[in-house]
Structure 1
Amino acid sequence: MSDSAPGPLRRLADLPGVDDLELKALMKPRLADPDLRDEHPEVDAVARAAFGLSLAEAEAVALPADWPDPLRDLHRRSPAELVEAFEAEGWDVTDKRRKPLRMLPIFALPLALAARGVAGQLPFVAEPDHPTTDWGASLKAEAGRFRKR
């Protein structure tokens, strides 16, 4: 991924299962605890669906030598630092109120690996063909002006 991503940020919450897991973490905060992830197999299942690799597989990947500094030691970064690092990579990792997702500490490494093409993969998202415009309304207004002449 490039350092300056054009266009809108891609949302972590839009990946398969992430938003549902985020809602569950709201009700059961222990679900978002990285130390307790082995007790919640659904977290690993969502990681595999969203990033193409399990959490253990992500941890086993050797980071490339040119790995950017903001993405090094993701497990030691604060949620605010993670938000900033991922925004630089073209990702929105916040909720609707712009707070870091509860599941972000768990999903930070697999997201970084998949987004940079090091390991795993992200689900395909088609680019829009062209920007939507309201050309019909402008034609109607122009036709009205023409008739008045």
Structure 2
Amino acid sequence: MTQASLRRLIDLPGVDDLELKALMKPRYADPDAREEFPEIDALTSALFGLTGEAAEAVALPDDWDDIHRLEGADLAEAFEALGWDVTDKRRKPLRLMPHYVLPLALAIRGVAGELPFHVEPDHPATDWGSGLAADAARFRKR
């Protein structure tokens, strides 16, 4: 999968703003801080249809690979394989990934929740029409 085709988690509405708050107040990134900062659950609910608590209550399928237990580069690579870039501009996993990982993984795999709407990029224009125009010009000259 090419880098250009990855969906970037930080580009979703509200994620970058919450990352900035976590930069200013590192306690946001603590997995136990969810109750202290309700905006974390509000964001995961808005993006994936699941709060952290609801995601933890979901019965995981038998073939679940425990992606939510990975950390660092392993976590980023696992999500890249699923089509998502979960890193910041320095290629480090987002500070709040402990809060996003399970709701995002469940939504990607269709177990629970949902992924935010994503507009597919336009297909590049092809030049097949230029050949037709040249043929038409030659035809008119005859």
SS state of the match for residue 32, structure 2?
A: helix
> Which residues of structure 2 form unaligned runs of 5+?
131-142
SS state of the match for residue 24, structure 1?
A: helix
- Give the drift of 1:28: 0.5
- Hey, which bits of structure 1, 4+ residues long, moved more than 4 A? 4-7
Query: Aligned partners of 1:7 and 1:22: how far apart in 2?
Result: 22
Using the aligned pairs only, state the percent identity. Answer: 68
For the aligned residue pairs, the C-alpha RMSD in angstroms reads 2.5
Amino acid corresponding to residue 106 of structure 2 in structure 1? L
Query: TM-score normalised to the size of structure 1?
Result: 0.78
Amino acid corresponding to residue 63 of structure 1 in structure 2? L
Aligned to 2:46: 49
> Which residues of structure 1 form unaligned runs of 5+?
139-149
Residues 90-112 of structure 1, C-alpha deviation per residue, up to 9 Å, x if partnerless?
A: 11000011111001111100000
Amino acid corresponding to residue 50 of structure 2 in structure 1? L
Is the 2:44–2:51 Cα contact (8 Å) retained in structure 1?
yes
Is the 2:22–2:29 Cα contact (8 Å) retained in structure 1?
yes
- Aligned pairs (5 A) from 1:35-114: 35-67=32-64, 69=65, 72=66, 74-75=68-69, 77-114=70-107
- Give the drift of 1:66: 2.3
- Give the drift of 1:7: 5.8
**Larger of the two Rg values belongs to structure:** 2
Is the 2:68–2:105 Cα contact (8 Å) retained in structure 1?
no
Query: Aligned partners of 2:81 and 2:67: how far apart in 1?
Result: 16
